[in-house]
Chain A
Amino acid sequence: EVQLLQSGGGLVQPGGSLRLSCAASKFPFASYAMTWVRQAPGKGLEWVSTLSGGAESAYYADSVKGRFTISRDNFKNMLYLQMNSLRVEDTAVYFCAKDILNNWDDPGAAFDIWGQGTLVTVSS
């Protein structure tokens, strides 16, 4: 079964760091861009970051730029989100998602496979 299995997350103090992982299976991982989307408690969906299939191009929301780093290991079929300088407002469930595109050179992103989500709580 095509799936994304997430790990990481938890409770961290403001200013701290955390790394999220997303393990892909049963699809050609390197052929697709991968994205992180988050959802604050009781709120809607917010795009966080996207990385092209070959890791040539990374994109970030202004709210996380300079603090978060997206990366991938195409040999291990893994996607990561390194989160530094965490703030209370970063508290959310984070989802990884597979794009139908390889990159964002052209429009048309759509996310056909999603991970189960992992909760990140930033609190003192």
Chain B
Amino acid sequence: DIVLTQSPVSLAVTPGEPASISCRSSQSLVHSNGYNYLDWYVQKPGKSPQLLIYVASNRASGVPDRFSGSGSGTDFTLKISRVEAEDVGVYYCMQALQTPPLTFGGGTKVEIK
């Protein structure tokens, strides 16, 4: 099974400042078609998860452009260019290359300073 390791486990960010979350995979997530099958989700307090990024760098519908995904192979990054109070939550990466099983990272908790 593919193991995803996220870092940091938590981070506190001043509003308006950038934030960056890393997701490292135990195996390459590049398919033979060239796409990297890595998604990002956020789970805001008391809510269901919501899709932010799919195929490593594609923003889901309605996701603000301050969110961006990058990376290839085994190293991926989610960046928030300017953190807002509403961005508080736990961020998860998920691999969708080798399924089943589908696997999630352990999560990164984002808080506001």
Contacts and interface: CB of A to CB of B under 8 A. Distances in A.
A108 B54 CA distance: 8
Interface string A28-57: 000000010100000011110010000000
Contacts of B90: 44
Q: Which label, helix, strand, loop or mixed, suits the secondary structure of the B interface? A: loop
B49 A45 contact: yes
A114 B104 contact: no
B104 A111 contact: no
Nearest to B49: A114
Contacts of B31: 107
Contact of A104 (B35, B48, B92, B99): B99
Given A45-B49, A114-B50, A115-B48, A107 B96 contact: yes
Interface residues of B, number: 29
Contacts of B35: 107-108
Given A46-B104, A50-B102, A108 B96 contact: yes
A107 B31 CA distance: 8
A116 B105 CA distance: 21
Given A44-B106, A44-B107, A111 B51 contact: yes
Interface of B: 31, 35, 37, 39, 41, 43, 48-51, 54-55, 60-61, 90, 92, 94, 96-107
Interface of A: 35, 37, 44-47, 50, 59-62, 95, 97, 100, 104, 107-112, 114-117
